[in-house]
Amino acid sequence: MARRQLALAAATLHLLVCFADGKQMNHAPSSVTRITPNSVTAKLATEITFTGAKDGDKVQFALHCGKVTSPSSTIEGGKATITIEDEAEVLKLCYQAEGHAVVEEQTSVTLAVVSPTDTGAVTKLIPSTVTQGTATPITLTGAAKAAKAVFVPVRANCRDAVPNVDIDRTGKGVFTIEGPGGNYKLCYQAPGGGDSVEQNPETGAIALLVEQVEATNENHITSISPATVTSNVATTLKLAGAKQGDKAKFIAGTSSCEAETPPDKDIGAGHASFIVSGAGTYVLCVTAKGASDSVQQEGITLTVIAAGAARNMVGRWSSKQGAVDCSKLSQVPYCSSQGSSTCDGSFAIQSGIGYKCFWNTAIWPPKCDADMSTEERGMICQSNSCGGSPAMCW
């Protein structure tokens, strides 16, 4: 009896080995937990990754898996290329592991199929000019939330491009174009799609001009005015030669523009307000639009003087044994260092004669100014006059 049981066990073991050697054993069915992407464009061949799939297994997307007997695509390297002709909100994954029947994967693994992207979806760009290498928010009029876009040179083909900039609900995306300067076209992808379509609406092709970045010239700014300011007093300076997007900074004359932090004051309007602390001579560092350097401007210096009245500014009054009550004055050497709220209470001094400042709106930008061309207007140091308010007398 024992001998018969031993023989039966040996035969059973041999049978199991034969199944293994002959590859008769089927592996357990795979379970796909995720697909990427989960939305594709109709009629476009798209590579989809099947997380959890095994090579050799077959897949197909359908409304119902009951009638799918032999899925049309085979998994290789965890991926399969799928083409679906018609749009659909939800398609189920029909999966067939090797040696098993077709099964319907869990309801969380579904695919959406959207219509091809319209060539006229985007009708306008704002702005239409950017600087090479500079991150710039661009509004795409007509673009939908969750769409994607990319700009490529006009000679490139959008079919070879991959839209990778997300568009928000306002139609805006932030684009950084590292390529060479020139004209670029827009490749757009509708939400959920996988295509890349050049935008060419009826109003004309969508074009973006990319300005080539150039190094800042040492003669970019040719002059500044005024060239003397008071320490710690906000002063509006004119900078001849400044262009939109330029930035500037004043540093001590003993320092190097390259060694200091980059300029951060926007001077694109041709004028800007500066506050410089500490008396001395300062040089001007400039970064041209789109450039990444910081270049000292040749022949441009700013003299910064300490606040207060110097003896030679009131020489005429001293020679007449006059006495100046400094508590009643907020004098500065240049009216332009004052803002509109303090302008009327400040003075300019020329050759020992004081002139009342006034807010000059006849120029741009408006500034605190003094008319020194005549002694009839604004002069506060004249016989039997206190220049207006008693608070201005001395």
Over residues 282-291, mean pLDDT:
91
Domain regions of the chain by residue span: 34-114, 124-211, 223-305, 311-392
pLDDT in tens, 169-191: 999 999 999 888 999 999 999 99
Least confident segment among 183-192, 195-204, 244-253, 321-330: 321-330
Q: How far apart are CA 327 and CA 309, in angstroms?
A: 12
Q: How far apart are CA 207 and CA 186, in angstroms?
A: 7
Average pLDDT, the chain: 81
Q: Helix, strand or coil for residue 179?
A: coil
pLDDT band for position 308 (cuts 50, 70, 90) = low
225, 365 Cβ separation under 8 angstroms? no
The pLDDT value given to residue 25: 40
Fold: same for 124-211 and 223-305? yes
Over residues 211-228, mean pLDDT:
91
pLDDT at position 140 over 60: yes
pLDDT at position 376 over 60: no
* Cis status, amide bond into 201, omega within 30 of 0: no
The pLDDT value given to residue 350: 62
- Options 1.20.58, 1.10.3470, 2.60.40, 1.20.120; which CATH number does 124-211 get? 2.60.40
pLDDT at position 391 over 80: no
Q: How far apart are CA 269 and CA 160, in angstroms?
A: 41
Q: How far apart are CA 267 and CA 243, in angstroms?
A: 7
pLDDT at position 106 over 90: no
Which comes out higher in pLDDT, residue 382 or 54? 54
Q: How far apart are CA 102 and CA 85, in angstroms?
A: 22
For the record, the structure tokens of 138 come out as 């661009």
Q: Around Cβ 68, how many Cβ atoms within 10 Å?
A: 19
Over residues 256-264, mean pLDDT:
93
pLDDT at position 150 over 90: yes
Rg (CA), the chain: 39
Four-residue CA torsion sign, 305, 309, 310, 312: positive
The pLDDT value given to residue 98: 83
Q: Helix, strand or coil for residue 95?
A: strand
pLDDT at position 263 over 90: yes
149, 163 Cβ separation under 8 angstroms? yes
Question: Does domain 34-114 bear CATH number 3.50.50.60?
Answer: no
For the record, the structure tokens of 154 come out as 């006009």
The pLDDT value given to residue 337: 64
Name the class of domain 223-305. mainly beta
pLDDT at position 211 over 60: yes
Q: How far apart are CA 28 and CA 50, in angstroms?
A: 17
